[in-house]
Structure 1
Amino acid sequence: MENLTPVAAWRAAFKDGKQRLLAAFAERQRPTPSAARALLRHLAKHVDAQLRALWREAGLPAGSALVAVGGYGRGELFPHSDVDVLVLLPNEAEAHRPGPLKDALERFITTCWDIGLEIGSSVRTLDECLSEAQGDVTVMTALLEARLLAGPSERFEALQAAVTRTVDARSFLRAKTAEMRQRHGKFEDTPYSLEPNCKESPGGLRDLQVLIWVARGAGLGATWDELAAKGLITPFESQQLRRNEDTLCLIRCLLHLAAGRREDRLVFDLQTAVAQRLGLQSTSGVRASELMMRRYYWAAKAVTQLNQILLLNLEERIEGRANVVPRRIDDFFLDRAGLIEVASDDLYQRHPEAILQTFVLYASTWGLKGLSSRTLRALYNARQVMDARWRADPRNRAAFVQLLQLPQGQTHALRLMNQTSVLGRYLWVFRAIVGQMQHDLFHVYTVDQHILMVLRNVRRFFIPEHAHEYAFCSQLAAQWDKPHLLYIAALFHDIAKGRGGDHSTLGADEVRRFARAHKLPKEDAELVAWLVDQHLAFSRVAQKEDLSDPDVIAAFAKTVGTPRRLTALYLLTVADIRGTSPKVWNAWKGKLLEDLYRLTLRHLGGSPMSQDAEIEHRKAEARQLLALRSALPDTEAPLWATLNVSYFARHDAAELAWHARSLWRHLGTATPVVFARPSPVGEGLQVLVYAPDGPDLFARICGYFDGAGFNILDAKIHTTRDGFALDTFQVLGNDPDTHHRDLVPMVEQRLASALTQTTPLPEPRRARLSRRVKSFPTTPRVSLRPDERAQAWVLTVSASDRAGLLYAIARVLARHRIDLQLAKILTLGERVEDSFLVKGASLAQARVQLQLEAELLDAIALPT
């Protein structure tokens, strides 16, 4: 053993060799897919040579073999991918008993790690390999891609032959298909997430590998050309598979290099670096990263389509369904075991009008669960037929409207149309937003996926089985006579994203063109155009305006005009917000939207809100609630005598009663009082604070909630006539599994304690920024303007969200002794749009206004 090369020398040689390969690739001005493929092969060969040298030095028994398995077994290695090897021992070897064999194995594996080769190793005999493979489909998959590195070829050939005999093609197909479905489910069954995994996501490299694994297991081939030779794919499909695989390989290779480690997610931090290595440049309207992601999405979409075709063909061949006699549906289509099959391969060339009829049939016929491989292939090859003349064909326009008007199936049909590229070719304007990212820190889907998600949400309003999810929406939808108009509005509401200009106005123009082309009645056309043009208005008013103000309701009612428009806009708004991100919707937003709907409907019904009458009604209802709680008569009187009209206008009867019942024994106390309860809207806590007023009170409250891990959703701020603050907060914990009822004692005790502090306000804590905020920061904006009556000021703040942001704003207001009347806290993903109604004598001075805005901009700016 004295002649062994020192580990340091091995390590230097391995590192230098790898660095030379990576440096040569990096020197290319614009790397190509072929260059990336060559790098992967050279990296694998470099590792091969190093492992063979170490194997020779380890001194293992002559009958042992070193085998590359898994991805490394394919003979290609990404810059930071795993190196998986199998040490194949003779059956008679005693691998687990102390002795020379075990020492040699430990020496070999330890040396690999010492020189920087982070191998994943398994040590098995032939019999153990077969036993493990039969019980674990992952082991079987790895062995199917095995490649001999060192040792006797006879032993390796025996392994290959045994694996081939052992694999059960049908069981293997079903296992890999189930595995793929489970994997897709983790990524929400879409290739269009904003940070996709280019290996594991739908349409990623793993989907292509599954096809080769299944084909290998069935003995049908190991390359695209071999599969084409067996008739499983066409030569054109083989070419497309290879081309899109090359694109994904290049992107994954550049991703590893940009990260400097194994990283298969196209995270925001790295997208720009990958785009720049591809030679893409940002323009005034489009980021380089967006161009790169569009290229990725198109490749992933093509892989998804081709994966469906080939997998169905493999299933038919392996399961023996190729000879199943299909049932004729009509002159154009057959039913092959529940899948729609074209009657002839050239159906769509001879009858282009049959393309949309395919999806009408799919949506309208019970028992049809998809398209056969023959139909998917026919659609894939009919893309050139779907031209301007095809789009203008009255038969196709009638078929598309028919699809939208069907009693069920629109969501599945339109998604399938998008997956097969038919939707973007029929609605040419839709094609422009396929795979388009949204860098607003609000949406987590590409524009096309968001649109289809919104359409799905609208559709669910009309399905009784989903009434428990959207109770009020389902109630309204049950009275709506033309669901297809809402589907059209959903399809077009964001269709003009990314063009520049107001996408609502541009989208309204597009839907008007659609309505004319498809001969919608004038009244229907005007409604869908209005919905698209105004689709942001409902959420803006509900979440940013003071709904207790009759003028706000009157102005919104004037914008809406009719109860029919109000109902349509409400349904579209709820569907839109819930289709942006799982994190954006909460019960408090739902309550704001529903409150605005009911107030506006009453105004439109001829009963404008009389504030005096409304307040008296609330007071009476609050007194009834107090009586039900066995409160003494006039319990509420001492508190109510200290409050003005705005307090009663901004709280409902249940809140008035809760405040009075909680505070009647604490009025005038110098010690801060805090009461909390589970929020009546169903999520989070409602917190009541009663304390002597002071310029820094709101800041201290925000500081406590920030430090305790609560998000403030809403704040209603009041000052009594005798100088006490009576503030009500809606807060939500960061942990979705939190049982908020259990937190009530803690919040009541600790917040009250925090408000007794008289020390200077501490600096806001510096928390780590999320990756999305770092990559796509929101430009901070501050606006200060008089309200409609010129009696107060409206302060609006827009910024990237982060821990301590609201506290930082509150500190600035406290420093300038600004009185806060109302706070509307709106969080959109990682962006906040907060509105405050404030008062302060100094605000009349222009100099103070400018200074306040400047300090707020400094407070909300991201740390450098």
Structure 2
Amino acid sequence: MSLDLDSVALRGLSEPERLSFLKEQITRENEDLHRRHLAGEAGLAHSEARSMVADELIIALFNTYLPDPENPPALALVANGGYGRGLMNPGSDIDLLFLVDRPTTNISDDAKKIVRGIQMIIWDLGFKFLPSTRSVPECITEAKMEPQSRTALLDSRLVVGDQKLFRKLRDRFRKDCIEKDKTRFFEERSLDINTRHAKWSHTVFLQEPNIKESPGTLRDYQNLDWIIDAEAGTRSMTELVRKRILTRHARRELKDAFNFLHRVRNALHYHDKGNDILTLRFQGIIANEFGYPQKTILRRIEVFMREYYTHARSVHNHTRSIFEIFELQHKEEGHTSIRSRLTFGLIKKKPKTLDDYTIQNERLSARRKDIFEENPNRLIRIFVYCQKYQVTPSPSLRKLIKKSWDLIDRSFRVRRENREAFREILERKGQVATTLRLMHRCGVLGRYLPEFGALDCLVQHEFFHRYTADEHTLRCIDQLDALVENDDPKVSIYRDIIVKHPDPYALYIALILHDTGRAENVREHIDGSAMLAARLCKRLQITGGRRAL
């Protein structure tokens, strides 16, 4: 269904009649879109349909207010931001640039009439409208000064009007604001991600996440779009697969996640337009609306939020990986440039060799692709190296780890070599949490310890828990590690306990297991945790006083 708009008919109406007619059309279209959403329409399809409605409205208004359709002024109506991407949620704004061919202090009367007419009627229709009027040089000046304007123009597309003028803007913007200094643009996007993630506790596992701004949500996906556009000259995930930056599985995960996040945001906006916080109240409402079949509301919320966290983690991890790949490229290009200027390329820094791995730029990489097939036990040992040398697995090594998940089976979990490597990790006081997070991010921790794996993305239904069960556990270990270097007299008694504790292995195991009973659906989770602890101790051959602790 689409708007029934005829610009010739609209011209024949007075302003009040035109406004009344358009309100009726928009109301009818919104009701139809809402019915489609409730019937289960996919998130992206729904957001695209909303953007198309805005296009039809703006095109009709442009043609309505043209003084002389046979001789239109040099004016282009350009969609920016989310509207430019062709995706609008019910509470999204219409970010529209009126692009003119001269300074805005000197635009033609015909252009003024069109701009004024469209602006007034869109505001009167109740849209959240963000108009701007600029020439090409003014757009470039603004984009150079303001990062938000730069990304808005990177998403721009022509809705209606002067195609030649729009191409001039697009080509000059690309040349002056992106190609001239890709490093600056990359650093801006990295800073945006880091600053925003800090505001949301650097985790996707918040109890009440922001569907637009939290880690792993729509803003991360948009940053991913912007950076691959700037660095690789494409927005096609298929092209990234062809270039071996993404795997086919990662592309599918990103597509599914983006679709899901848009559907959730559509639902949120229908209940509370403009709100992006997925509160506990709305979690229940949306879980019911999406038709999860579990018998109780708590179980429906649990399944819904587990799906949310899984998708958000996919966006978060893949975005980090792709940014990391381009970051390493920028570093290598910078080093190459310096070497060529200072040494004419005669000196090349070699990566450090470590058994079956190399270390370069603080990343650990495998020297062969079959490294885990040769010896699956390396899937634990590599994290000993990461901890000892304070490095992280490179993007390529993480892909190899993911491909090798099936090697972590029952026999793998009981091997002595793996027990000893894991104990070695837990015995380095103050350095455990970072390594366990690496293992969790790479999908190894929950597979090696299924008791912990059951906590993955598990919702906790208490107001005093801000995070999922797995994130809560890792943050407890963060706090324990932090005590080792904490000189604050207020916590000295606790610091002495951890520093002087003779068996950190048992202490960290206890923390890893302390909430595992929450996944067992028992009346008291401490009983479930005790049962799982006994099972784990048997498998890891923890006995005597260590087991009692």
Do the aligned partners of 2:47 and 2:89 also contact (CA within 8 Å) in 1?
A: yes
Deviation of residue 44 (structure 1)? 0.9
- In structure 1, stretches of 5+ residues that fail to align are 528-864
Residue 103 of structure 2 corresponds to residue 69 of structure 1: no
Counterpart Cα distance in 2 of 1:431 and 1:350: 25
Residue 305 of structure 2 corresponds to residue 283 of structure 1: no
Counterpart Cα distance in 2 of 1:285 and 1:485: 38
Specify which of 179, 183, 198 is matched with residue 170 of structure 1.
Answer: 183
Deviation of residue 374 (structure 1)? 1.1
Do the aligned partners of 2:430 and 2:480 also contact (CA within 8 Å) in 1?
A: no
How do residues 108-127 of structure 1 correspond to structure 2 at under 5 angstroms?
A: 108-127=118-137
Counterpart residue number, 2:100: 89
Shift in alpha-carbon separation, 1:326–1:513, aligned structure 2, 3 A: farther
Do the aligned partners of 2:65 and 2:113 also contact (CA within 8 Å) in 1?
A: no
Shift in alpha-carbon separation, 1:407–1:24, aligned structure 2, 3 A: closer
Specify which of 270, 290, 311 is matched with residue 323 of structure 2.
Answer: 311
Counterpart Cα distance in 2 of 1:336 and 1:211: 24
Letter paired with 2:275: E
Counterpart Cα distance in 2 of 1:517 and 1:290: 30
Q: Which runs of 4+ in 1 moved over 6 A?
A: 322-325
Counterpart residue number, 1:271: 283
Deviation of residue 306 (structure 1)? 1.5
Shift in alpha-carbon separation, 1:249–1:109, aligned structure 2, 3 A: same
Shift in alpha-carbon separation, 1:285–1:132, aligned structure 2, 3 A: closer
Counterpart residue number, 1:701: none
Deviation of residue 288 (structure 1)? 0.9
Q: Percent identity?
A: 25
Counterpart residue number, 1:161: 171
Moved more, 13-22 or 100-109: 100-109
- Count matched residues: 517
Counterpart residue number, 1:438: 460
Do the aligned partners of 1:326 and 1:337 also contact (CA within 8 Å) in 2?
A: no
Shift in alpha-carbon separation, 1:208–1:325, aligned structure 2, 3 A: farther
Shift in alpha-carbon separation, 1:52–1:161, aligned structure 2, 3 A: same
Q: TM-score scaled by structure 2?
A: 0.89
Deviation of residue 318 (structure 1)? 4.6
Residue 19 of structure 2 corresponds to residue 7 of structure 1: yes
Letter paired with 1:363: Q
Moved more, 182-191 or 424-433: 424-433
Do the aligned partners of 1:228 and 1:234 also contact (CA within 8 Å) in 2?
A: yes
Do the aligned partners of 1:309 and 1:374 also contact (CA within 8 Å) in 2?
A: no
For residues 585-628 of structure 1, what are the alpha-carbon distances to aligned partners after superposition, in whole Å with 9 as ceiling and x for unaligned? xxxxxxxxxxxxxxxxxxxxxxxxxxxxxxxxxxxxxxxxxxxx
Residue 40 of structure 2 corresponds to residue 18 of structure 1: no
Counterpart Cα distance in 2 of 1:325 and 1:295: 45
Letter paired with 1:457: Q
Deviation of residue 426 (structure 1)? 1.0
Counterpart residue number, 1:351: 375
Counterpart Cα distance in 2 of 1:220 and 1:495: 46
Counterpart residue number, 2:512: 491
Letter paired with 1:298: T
Specify which of 175, 181, 193 is matched with residue 206 of structure 2.
Answer: 193
How do residues 658-807 of structure 1 correspond to structure 2 at under 5 angstroms?
A: none
SS at match of 1:442: coil
SS at match of 1:329: strand
Counterpart residue number, 2:340: none
Specify which of 61, 73, 87 is matched with residue 54 of structure 1.
Answer: 61
Counterpart Cα distance in 2 of 1:404 and 1:102: 69
Do the aligned partners of 2:104 and 2:134 also contact (CA within 8 Å) in 1?
A: no
Residue 225 of structure 2 corresponds to residue 212 of structure 1: yes
Larger CA Rg, structure 1 vs 2:
1
Counterpart Cα distance in 2 of 1:516 and 1:415: 24
Letter paired with 2:408: M
Counterpart residue number, 1:361: 385
Do the aligned partners of 1:169 and 1:214 also contact (CA within 8 Å) in 2?
A: no
Do the aligned partners of 1:11 and 1:114 also contact (CA within 8 Å) in 2?
A: no
SS at match of 1:218: helix
Counterpart Cα distance in 2 of 1:408 and 1:458: 7
Residue 52 of structure 2 corresponds to residue 38 of structure 1: no
Deviation of residue 252 (structure 1)? 2.1
SS at match of 1:514: helix
- In structure 2, stretches of 5+ residues that fail to align are 1-10, 337-347
Q: TM-score scaled by structure 1?
A: 0.57
Counterpart residue number, 1:300: 312
For residues 527-573 of structure 1, what are the alpha-carbon distances to aligned partners after superposition, in whole Å with 9 as ceiling and x for unaligned? 1xxxxxxxxxxxxxxxxxxxxxxxxxxxxxxxxxxxxxxxxxxxxxx
Do the aligned partners of 1:137 and 1:175 also contact (CA within 8 Å) in 2?
A: yes
Residue 358 of structure 2 corresponds to residue 329 of structure 1: no
Shift in alpha-carbon separation, 1:191–1:107, aligned structure 2, 3 A: same
Counterpart residue number, 1:520: 542
SS at match of 2:133: strand
Shift in alpha-carbon separation, 1:277–1:350, aligned structure 2, 3 A: farther
Higher relative contact order (CA 8 A, sep 6+): 2
Specify which of 210, 229, 235 is matched with residue 242 of structure 2.
Answer: 229
SS at match of 2:495: helix
Letter paired with 2:198: G
Shift in alpha-carbon separation, 1:393–1:440, aligned structure 2, 3 A: same
Task: Say which structure is richer in strand.
Answer: 1
Shift in alpha-carbon separation, 1:219–1:516, aligned structure 2, 3 A: closer
Deviation of residue 344 (structure 1)? 2.5
Moved more, 354-363 or 284-293: 284-293
SS at match of 2:420: helix
Counterpart residue number, 2:486: 465
SS at match of 2:202: coil
SS at match of 1:287: helix
SS at match of 2:354: coil
Deviation of residue 466 (structure 1)? 4.5
Specify which of 137, 144, 161 is matched with residue 147 of structure 2.
Answer: 137
Deviation of residue 62 (structure 1)? 1.3
Counterpart Cα distance in 2 of 1:44 and 1:340: 44
Do the aligned partners of 2:431 and 2:481 also contact (CA within 8 Å) in 1?
A: no
Deviation of residue 316 (structure 1)? 3.2
Shift in alpha-carbon separation, 1:346–1:208, aligned structure 2, 3 A: farther
Counterpart Cα distance in 1 of 2:533 and 2:140: 61
Residue 516 of structure 2 corresponds to residue 506 of structure 1: no
Shift in alpha-carbon separation, 1:519–1:283, aligned structure 2, 3 A: same
Task: Say which structure is richer in helix.
Answer: 2
Counterpart Cα distance in 1 of 2:104 and 2:546: 80
Letter paired with 2:360: R
Counterpart Cα distance in 2 of 1:231 and 1:284: 44
Do the aligned partners of 2:328 and 2:361 also contact (CA within 8 Å) in 1?
A: no
Specify which of 186, 197, 212 is matched with residue 184 of structure 1.
Answer: 197
Counterpart residue number, 2:6: none
Do the aligned partners of 1:460 and 1:466 also contact (CA within 8 Å) in 2?
A: no
Letter paired with 2:149: V
Counterpart Cα distance in 1 of 2:106 and 2:279: 43
Letter paired with 1:137: P
Counterpart Cα distance in 2 of 1:268 and 1:280: 16
Shift in alpha-carbon separation, 1:415–1:95, aligned structure 2, 3 A: farther
Counterpart Cα distance in 1 of 2:61 and 2:297: 54
Shift in alpha-carbon separation, 1:9–1:243, aligned structure 2, 3 A: same
Counterpart Cα distance in 1 of 2:309 and 2:80: 30
Counterpart Cα distance in 1 of 2:386 and 2:126: 55
